[in-house]
């Protein structure tokens, strides 16, 4: 399928190591995909669901010990340990290749090695990057055909000498003690072994699109960010674009696919989803930042997704979707999960493959794993942007950071300038809820929501943000939002979900100079009258409370930031040290 010597050499070397019985090239054709689905169903790897209710949809179960990303088994393998930084796990590349090579040796005996040529981004666009993933899992192949752009045209775009990211994955024995997700940024290489869970084995996703791509972006002058991209359409038809980063459990997918409140819909406002998870960002010829979603599908968390919380996400799963670790509803051969509705099926199999009876349900046995997933084609989404396939991407008016803070951050504030915005992103944090760790209110810093995903030293990553700002003539404005302010009784003060449209409207108005703001020590906060509350139960007094910036709370926050920054040593940019000392001075 190709004369690219680098590709052929990569396949030959990997086959010699893993010793598969045969090698199959994935061409992306419908016929081949259907044959692979049939094969996976014949071996029990997948279950075909009700064709009338869920056409071309399938159920898959992972091993019970293999249900989530494994941060503690994920390594950055670069020559100099210091370059991996204090937040990443590091391994020496030579040692990593040797150690994992022993595990890969003969790991595909009796199995097929599939060669997946894929593109992150529209094939052939200036944003796009190519990859080859070698895997012994049909599940991986079928997921990659949803999540990325797969096929012969990728090999054509690479040509006879084009570069690509080398990805090698083997299920091996799904042995968690020998499970490794290894990134070699200096070699453009990813090795993943002993896992079958999507987050560890769909190598185009976090592995390539963030960890390797963030390193490429630093060297090539662009950015790979853990951000949604949405289009905000005004009644006159003009669309403005926002990229936003949130740690997990902060409503990122809900925001990407937001349904405006009825009063906004009646006036003609719309939200368009360009991407729900990852943004690749470049400086355009016009001096603006342009963002593109490198993915082609959604890898979403199923539990809690329903017709009320996120109807667009739910609608996206209605065809051509692979469900992982959810409940198999035997009554009509469909799927179910906690939070889908209040009617769990009476005749069902749980995510482990065991009968899930009313007795188990009464005892509180969960039917779906809390991290169960759906892999759905982005084109299924009712609010997918018409710019989704635009090779140029979309121009950004605003960048938004967010977190889950009970008292600290106001509902929304705008940074003073680009460097101050980088500071705002670098101090992003969420407080743990009881569900996470048992400890409540512990602050976990997650800069730019990239803590688990930066492929190099976080201090250098901050520096790259500051350098990018110098290249952007028409900078997007940078904001921080917090939908999670609590009152003294622990109740949310802001309704969230679709009502977040009201905050987005203020953000766009600020970008266009249409509204004024109040200057505070942390940045610019809205005047209460400039946020439209029509049709909500939120009073002006409550809004004023959510917009307050308490100096004492922030003085304590500044101490936490200082402590966090210490770990970056002299790799912390001087600009951020200055931002912190300026904040402290303003708080006095």
Residues of the domain holding 362: 298-380
137: domain CATH number? 3.40.449.10
Percentage of the chain exceeding pLDDT 90:
97
Residue showing tokens 């004023």 = 544
Question: Would you give the distance in Å from CA 514 to the centre of its chain?
Answer: 32
The answer as to whether 406 is a domain residue is yes
Q: Which residues carry a binding-site annotation for Mn(2+)?
A: 206, 226, 277
The answer to whether 86 touches 193, Cβ cutoff 8 Å, is no
Model pLDDT, residue 441: 74
The answer as to whether 113 is a domain residue is yes
The answer as to whether 52 is a domain residue is no
Domain match, 250 and 305 both = no
Is 250 among the catalytic positions? yes
Q: Which residues carry a binding-site annotation?
A: 69, 197-199, 206, 226, 248-254, 277, 371-373, 404, 497-500
The answer to whether 170 touches 153, Cβ cutoff 8 Å, is no
* Whole-number Å distance between alpha carbons of 24 and 39: 14
Q: What is the mean pLDDT of residues 516-542?
A: 98
Tell me the CA end-to-end span of the chain in Å, nearest whole number: 66
Model pLDDT, residue 436: 42
Domain match, 370 and 286 both = no
* Whole-number Å distance between alpha carbons of 395 and 241: 6
Domain match, 29 and 167 both = yes
Task: Give 14's contacts (C-beta < 8 A, 6+ positions apart).
Answer: 113, 134, 168
Model pLDDT, residue 220: 98
261: domain CATH number? 3.90.228.20
Q: What is the pLDDT of residues 225-283, one digit of tens each?
A: 999 999 999 999 999 999 999 998 898 999 999 999 999 999 999 999 999 999 999 99
pLDDT value at 530 more than 70: yes
Q: What is the pLDDT of residues 318-368, one digit of tens each?
A: 999 999 999 999 999 999 999 999 999 999 999 999 999 999 999 999 999
| 435 band by pLDDT with thresholds 50, 70 and 90 | very low
∠ CA 515-521-527, nearest 5°, is: 25
Domain match, 95 and 21 both = yes
Q: What is the pLDDT of residues 37-67, one digit of tens each?
A: 999 999 999 999 999 999 999 999 999 999 9
Q: Which of 346, 380, 414 is the last residue of a domain?
A: 380
Q: Return the sign of the alpha-carbon dihedral for residues 192, 195, 199, 203.
A: positive
Domain match, 279 and 311 both = no
pLDDT value at 151 more than 60: yes
* Whole-number Å distance between alpha carbons of 125 and 294: 11
Task: Give 491's contacts (C-beta < 8 A, 6+ positions apart).
Answer: none
* Whole-number Å distance between alpha carbons of 154 and 162: 11
343: domain CATH number? 2.170.8.10
Domain match, 424 and 539 both = yes
Cα Rg of the chain, angstroms: 24
Domain match, 399 and 543 both = yes
* Whole-number Å distance between alpha carbons of 492 and 155: 51
Active-site residue (options: 18, 250, 273, 511) = 250
Q: Which of 380, 400, 421 is the last residue of a domain?
A: 380
Model pLDDT, residue 248: 84
The answer to whether 206 touches 182, Cβ cutoff 8 Å, is no
**The dihedral formed by the CA atoms of 507, 510, 514 and 517, expressed in degrees to the nearest 10:** 110
Model pLDDT, residue 439: 65
The answer as to whether 61 is a domain residue is no
* Whole-number Å distance between alpha carbons of 496 and 374: 24
The answer as to whether 31 is a domain residue is yes
Domain match, 161 and 287 both = no
Nearest Cα residue to 539 out of 528, 550, 527, 526: 528
Task: Give 501's contacts (C-beta < 8 A, 6+ positions apart).
Answer: 258, 260, 261, 264, 269, 271
Domain match, 397 and 359 both = no
Model pLDDT, residue 442: 86
Q: Which residues carry a binding-site annotation for GTP?
A: 249-254, 373, 404, 497-500
Number of CB atoms found within 10 A of residue 468's CB = 21
Give how many domains the chain has, as a whole number: 3
Domain match, 519 and 375 both = no
The answer as to whether 55 is a domain residue is no
Q: What is the pLDDT of residues 1-35, one digit of tens each?
A: 999 999 999 999 999 999 999 999 999 999 999 99
Model pLDDT, residue 249: 81
């Amino acid at each position: 399928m190709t004369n690219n010597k680098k590709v052929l050499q990569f396949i030959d070397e990997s086959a010699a190591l893993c010793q598969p019985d045969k090698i199959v090239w994935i061409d992306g054709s419908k016929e081949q995909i259907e044959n692979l689905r049939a094969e996976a169903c014949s071996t029990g790897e997948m279950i075909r669901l009700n064709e009338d209710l869920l056409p071309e949809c399938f159920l898959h179960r992972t091993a019970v010990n293999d249900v989530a990303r494994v941060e503690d088994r994920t390594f950055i393998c670069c020559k100099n340990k210091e370059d991996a930084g204090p937040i990443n796990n590091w391994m020496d590349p030579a040692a990593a290749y040797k150690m994992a090579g022993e595990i890969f040796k003969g790991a595909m005996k009796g199995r097929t090695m599939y060669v997946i040529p894929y593109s992150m981004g529209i094939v052939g666009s200036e944003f796009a990057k190519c990859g080859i993933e070698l895997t012994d899992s049909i599940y991986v192949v079928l997921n990659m055909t949803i999540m990325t752009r797969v096929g012969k045209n990728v090999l054509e775009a690479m040509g006879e000498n084009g570069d690509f990211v080398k990805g090698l994955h083997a299920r091996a024995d799904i042995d968690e003690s020998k499970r490794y997700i290894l990134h070699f940024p200096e070699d453009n290489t990813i090795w993943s072994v002993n896992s079958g869970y999507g987050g560890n084995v769909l190598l185009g996703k976090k592995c390539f699109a963030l960890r390797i791509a963030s390193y490429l972006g630093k060297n090539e002058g662009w950015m790979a960010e853990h951000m949604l991209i949405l289009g905000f359409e005004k009644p006159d038809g003009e669309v403005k674009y926002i990229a936003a980063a949130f740690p997990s459990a902060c409503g990122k997918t809900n925001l990407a696919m937001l349904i405006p409140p009825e009063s906004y819909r009646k006036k003609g406002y719309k939200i368009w989803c360009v991407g729900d998870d990852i943004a690749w960002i470049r400086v355009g010829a016009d001096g603006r930042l342009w963002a593109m979603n490198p993915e082609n599908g959604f890898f979403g968390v199923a539990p809690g997704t329903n017709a009320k919380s996120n109807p667009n996400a739910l609608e996206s799963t209605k065809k051509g979707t692979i469900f992982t670790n959810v409940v198999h509803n035997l009554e009509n051969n469909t799927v179910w999960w906690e939070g889908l509705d209040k009617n769990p099926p009476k005749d069902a199999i749980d995510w482990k493959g065991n009968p899930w009876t009313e007795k188990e349900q009464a005892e509180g046995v969960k039917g779906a794993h809390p991290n169960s997933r759906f892999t759905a084609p982005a084109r299924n989404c009712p609010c997918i942007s018409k710019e989704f396939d635009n090779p140029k991407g979309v121009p950004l008016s605003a960048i938004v950071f967010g977190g889950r803070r009970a008292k600290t951050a106001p509902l929304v504030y705008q940074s003073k300038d680009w460097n101050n915005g980088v500071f705002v992103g670098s101090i992003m944090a969420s407080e743990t809820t009881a569900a996470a760790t048992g400890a409540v209110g512990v602050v976990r810093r997650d800069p730019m929501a990239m803590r688990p995903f930066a492929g190099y030293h976080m201090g250098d990553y901050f520096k790259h943000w500051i350098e990018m700002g110098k290249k952007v003539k028409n900078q997007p404005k940078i904001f921080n939002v917090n939908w999670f302010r609590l009152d003294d009784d622990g109740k949310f003060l802001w309704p969230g979900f679709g009502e977040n449209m009201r905050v987005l409207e203020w953000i766009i108005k600020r970008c266009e100079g249409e509204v004024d703001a109040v200057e505070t020590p942390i940045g610019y906060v809205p005047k209460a009258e400039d946020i439209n509350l029509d049709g909500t139960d939120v009073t002006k007094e409550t809004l004023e409370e959510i917009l307050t910036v308490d100096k004492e709370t922030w003085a304590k926050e500044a101490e936490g930031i200082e402590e966090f920054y210490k770990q970056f040593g002299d790799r912390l940019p001087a600009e951020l040290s200055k931002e912190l000392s300026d904040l402290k001075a303003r708080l006095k």
